């Protein structure tokens, strides 16, 4: 059905509109309108997946595996829902935090180009088009990182671009090897071919290239250095958007290919994934504890929490994969929220340095509440979303006798609690340091400052209160990933 293409078509239409707009205020309101449409579209498409089944569109009427296919299953539907909520929140937040000297039409044009790339990656049924959407994401994100053309932004953008281009080259090389062995790039067709045992040795080189390429995109150990070198340099609106989406596309790609068609030598690959997951968690968590700049603390914790997501893939049981999906959505919401609040703190205090801020609990109690919700959720406190996401992963690790990775995950949770507590004490509880003062020009907050964090905070609470319902959605997606017969048959029929 044509509606399957709406997550791509909606941002594409707004990209064209923004090419001809010069009014900053109209551009902002159109961005909010477009983001709201994406929420409606995502809800509609997910409801169709749950009521009718997997949604497939063969572009141009060319049946798989000969044409380009778009497919929305339970995992894609969940990711589209989470993405649309993040996009809507960022659209509201941008009213106050996209600096006036930025060309508004340029920001929103590449903002929607990035969203088109992210949505395209989630719904493509063709592995080559996954590469194409990664390149759309890469080009758009590079422009957004360097928007403003400050020295730090250009330096961060070059570091970001360099390693990600290397990942794209590995991805392209893997595609060539995969096509040479199988003669197809349709993911369902690849799954039907590669599940035959005789192809295991033939695709191992391609598997390695894909694993490294997606590992770079997901920022796993030891391929994560581009992230803390670049994220803190961009405007906080852009950093918040990246924190919620970019690495999650890499994780999504790892989950998709290692459950669908890279299913050979599972013992080796799952053990390797668990080792990398543990190191990603611990290195990211430990690095965050040494930082005193809020964006850098939160950036390193993006890395540590990627480890939880691929931990579920490494354990590879329905419960574990469901936990990975639950954790991914929780993290998209909570991590974006903490970055948004760090921007509000900077607006009130004029800095991101924790040593130079304080007294926010008395100055703005509502902001303190809005921060403590995602902070405690990231640390894993009940009854918030992070508690249930981690509980599912811990339970799956213990049941599957993966005690080392479970211990690493538990230690990382304590490191996260330490970092969130440090931000809370430094920014909210301690007094304003002598010799520093709040930014008097920005001491009043508008609805555009508060509303995005309030929306995301309520979602974190709702995911905890209704954890059983959301877990049911994630478990359905996990069962379909581990046993993808329905996905393959629906695509190829």
* Digit-coded pLDDT (tens) for 400-412: 999 999 999 999 9
Residue indicated by tokens 């330096």: 155
Of the pLDDT bands very low, low, confident and very high (cuts 50, 70, 90), residue 135 is very high
Q: Decide if pLDDT at 17 tops 60.
A: yes
- What is residue 153's predicted lDDT score, i.e. its pLDDT? 81
Using one digit for the tens of pLDDT, what is the confidence trace for 439-468? Answer: 544 567 888 889 999 999 999 999 999 999
Cis preceding-peptide flag for 173 (omega within 30 of 0): no
The average confidence (pLDDT) of the chain is: 90
- What is residue 199's predicted lDDT score, i.e. its pLDDT? 61
Q: How far is Cα 320 from Cα 15, in angstroms, rounded to an integer?
A: 38
Of the pLDDT bands very low, low, confident and very high (cuts 50, 70, 90), residue 438 is low
Checking phi first, is residue 431 left (phi over 0); if not, alpha (psi -120 to 50) or beta? beta
CA atoms within 13 A on the CB side of 330: 39
- What is residue 216's predicted lDDT score, i.e. its pLDDT? 94
Range from 50-64, 260-274, 328-342 that averages highest in pLDDT = 328-342
Of the pLDDT bands very low, low, confident and very high (cuts 50, 70, 90), residue 228 is confident
Using one digit for the tens of pLDDT, what is the confidence trace for 194-227? Answer: 877 566 667 888 899 999 999 999 999 998 888 8
Phi, psi angles (nearest 5°) of residue 45: -70, -40
Higher-confidence position of 100 and 21:
21
Q: Decide if pLDDT at 85 tops 90.
A: yes
Two tokens at 435? 């010799």
- What is residue 441's predicted lDDT score, i.e. its pLDDT? 46
How large a percentage of the chain has pLDDT more than 90?
Answer: 63
- What is residue 203's predicted lDDT score, i.e. its pLDDT? 82
Question: 3-state secondary structure string, 134-179?
Answer: HHHHHHHHHHHHCCCCCHHHHHHHHHHHHHHHHHHHHHHHHHHHHH
Question: E strands along 231-277, which residues?
Answer: none
């Amino acid at each position: 059905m044509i509606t399957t293409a709406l997550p791509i078509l909606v941002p594409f239409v707004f990209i064209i509109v923004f090419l001809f707009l010069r009014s900053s205020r109209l551009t902002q309101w159109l961005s909010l309108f477009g983001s709201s449409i994406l929420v409606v579209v995502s809800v509609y498409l997910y409801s169709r997946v749950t009521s009718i089944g997997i949604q497939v569109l063969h572009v141009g009427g060319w049946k798989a595996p000969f044409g380009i296919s778009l497919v929305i299953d339970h995992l894609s539907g969940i990711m589209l829902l989470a993405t649309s909520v993040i996009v809507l929140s960022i659209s509201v937040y941008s009213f106050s935090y996209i600096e006036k000297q930025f060309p508004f039409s340029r920001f929103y044009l590449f903002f929607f180009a990035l969203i088109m790339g992210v949505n395209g990656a989630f719904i493509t049924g063709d592995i080559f088009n996954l590469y194409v959407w990664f390149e759309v994401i890469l080009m758009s994100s590079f422009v957004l990182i360097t928007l403003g053309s400050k020295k730090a932004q250009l330096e961060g953008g070059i570091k970001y671009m360099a390693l990600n281009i290397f990942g794209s080259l590995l991805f392209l090389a893997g595609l060539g090897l995969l096509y040479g062995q199988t003669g197809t790039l349709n993911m369902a067709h690849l799954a039907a071919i590669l599940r035959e045992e005789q192809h295991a040795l033939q695709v191992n080189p391609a598997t390695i290239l894909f694993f490294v390429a997606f590992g770079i995109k997901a920022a796993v150990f030891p391929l994560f250095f581009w992230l803390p070198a670049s994220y803190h340099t961009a405007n906080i609106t852009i950093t918040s958007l990246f924190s919620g989406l970019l690495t999650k596309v890499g994780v999504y790609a790892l989950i998709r290919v290692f459950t669908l068609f890279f299913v050979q030598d599972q013992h080796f690959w799952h053990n390797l994934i668990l080792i990398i997951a543990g190191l990603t968690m611990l290195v990211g968590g430990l690095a965050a504890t040494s930082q005193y700049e809020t964006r850098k603390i939160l950036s390193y914790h993006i890395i540590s929490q990627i480890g939880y997501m691929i931990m579920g893939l490494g354990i590879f049981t329905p419960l574990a994969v469901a936990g990975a999906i639950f954790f991914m959505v929780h993290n998209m919401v909570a991590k974006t929220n903490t970055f948004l609040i760090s921007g509000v703190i900077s607006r009130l205090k004029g800095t991101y340095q924790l040593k130079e801020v304080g007294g926010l609990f008395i100055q703005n109690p509502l902001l303190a509440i809005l921060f403590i919700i995602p902070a405690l959720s990231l640390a894993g406190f009940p009854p918030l979303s992070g508690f249930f996401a981690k509980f599912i992963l811990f339970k799956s690790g213990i049941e599957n006798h993966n005690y080392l990775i479970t211990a690493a995950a538990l230690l990382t949770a304590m490191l996260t609690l330490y970092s969130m507590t440090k931000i809370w004490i430094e920014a909210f509880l301690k007094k304003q340091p002598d010799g520093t003062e709040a930014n008097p020009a920005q001491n009043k907050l508008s609805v555009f400052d508060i509303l995005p964090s309030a929306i995301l905070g309520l979602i974190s609470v709702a995911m905890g209160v209704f954890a059983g319902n959301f877990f049911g959605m994630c478990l359905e997606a996990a069962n379909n990933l581990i046993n993808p017969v329905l996905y393959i048959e629906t695509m190829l029929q």
